[in-house]
Structure 1
Amino acid sequence: GSHVIVSYEGLIARDEEGNFRQTHCILYDVTERKRAEEALQKAHDELELRVAERTAEAEARAQDLLRANAQLEREITEHKQAEEEIKAQKKFTDNVIDSLPDTFYIFDPESGEGIQWNRTLNEISGYSYEEMSQYPPSHFYPPEEHQLIEEVVKTTLENGRATVELNYIIADGTRIPFEYSTVLIKNAEGKPCICAIGRDITERKRVEGALEKANAELELRVEKRTAELAAANEQLQRDITQRK
């Protein structure tokens, strides 16, 4: 009493006068294929939704944290008597930034100098704080992506934000795919800086690759079935001819 999803191909054979003689049909059980396609698509959609939600959350947290840092800097100048308390608050903010699961990096778009980054970036990259401070942002990406980085910086300066996928090169030379959301901010002196929040999208790329592979395999199976059907049709035609 169970149901299966099938596809079928058929051929109607007629005699010399055009009268119906017989049909030749081939049924294919595609239930598992449909289930696999639906499962892969569902996984892909859920992952895209999680990525979008996490990106929005990270951007909101970054803006809140940056505003908090700016406020702290102003208070240090205006209220020397509260210096110790402010330092404690700043330390808390830095600890929150360090606890973010995504990479957090602020740099000067004019000089390319890194200004602030979180511990997550050090841990993922394999570079120490001292090593990170010696290199401009472009050092951590392949040469073929440098032009794209320049375009993203320009877009961020003009529009206030941008999104881009880049391959981050960690200390051992491994390339990790990241999706970055950049936001234009200003430091205490009003100078423009860029905050880049990056997320490792290795798993998303794996799911996309699996989906592409499944689609490619499906295409091959369809081609194979089509060829089999064509061969069967040719054989049927020969059989009909021989019976005449």
Structure 2
Amino acid sequence: MNNPTTITDVLLSDEGSHIQDAMETVQLADGEVLFRRGDIGDAFYVIDTGQIRIFTLDEEGRELTLNILGAGEAFGELALVDKSPRSASASAVGPTTPRRLRQQYFLAGVHTSPQLSEIVTRLLSQRTRHMTDYIEWLGQWARLVAEGKYDQAMKGIQDADTSDRALTAVADAVETMVKAVREREERLKKEVAQLRIQIDEKKRKKQVEEITETDYFQQLTRRARDLRQSARDNG
């Protein structure tokens, strides 16, 4: 392989043969979690077969898919490079077999392989650029939702670049959120309308009570009663 362009390419090249020897095979069942957000990043992974879903949780504990990775793709290197906890969780989609490279071997490979070092640097740069794009998209969608412009928000989400799987996954998650917010707002509007009806009824009842308790109304009531009694007596 003359010109490796991905981490996987380097690992499959002669230059990466010593790194391959340090990799461990992991067997995952469908839905099995490989690591969770907040875990210590102690390994890097390359998928041999199957798929890995990268996801996070919203404030209500619902899973939001950020990306789906397939055979030949690598993940988990970010936490090893910046020494931060995992920024998202990873689980298997169907039976999946990734290979794991422990942190010390990965970092040693970065230091000893110019190609691997270059690719990791480029990958981190791409991640930063993509994150900036995602934040810009999310900012636009959030602004439209905050203004109650749900149709425009949905159109923007549906027009997202479908060639970018990560952005598509984020867009799907945001679309679900927008639908939930819209449904919640409609439900609240109905509840407020019902509450207003109840308040109006109480207000009218109070007004009637205030009228019937006045001396003038009491006098009218007594006069009407006397007139009815007089009519019965004369009848």
Q: Could you tell me the TM-score, scaled by structure 1's length?
A: 0.28
Q: Which protein has the larger Cα radius of gyration, Structure 1 or Structure 2? A: 2
Q: What TM-score, normalized by structure 2, do the two folds share?
A: 0.28
* Bigger RCO of structures 1 and 2 (CA < 8 A, at least 6 apart): 2
Give the strand-richer structure, 1 or 2. Answer: 1
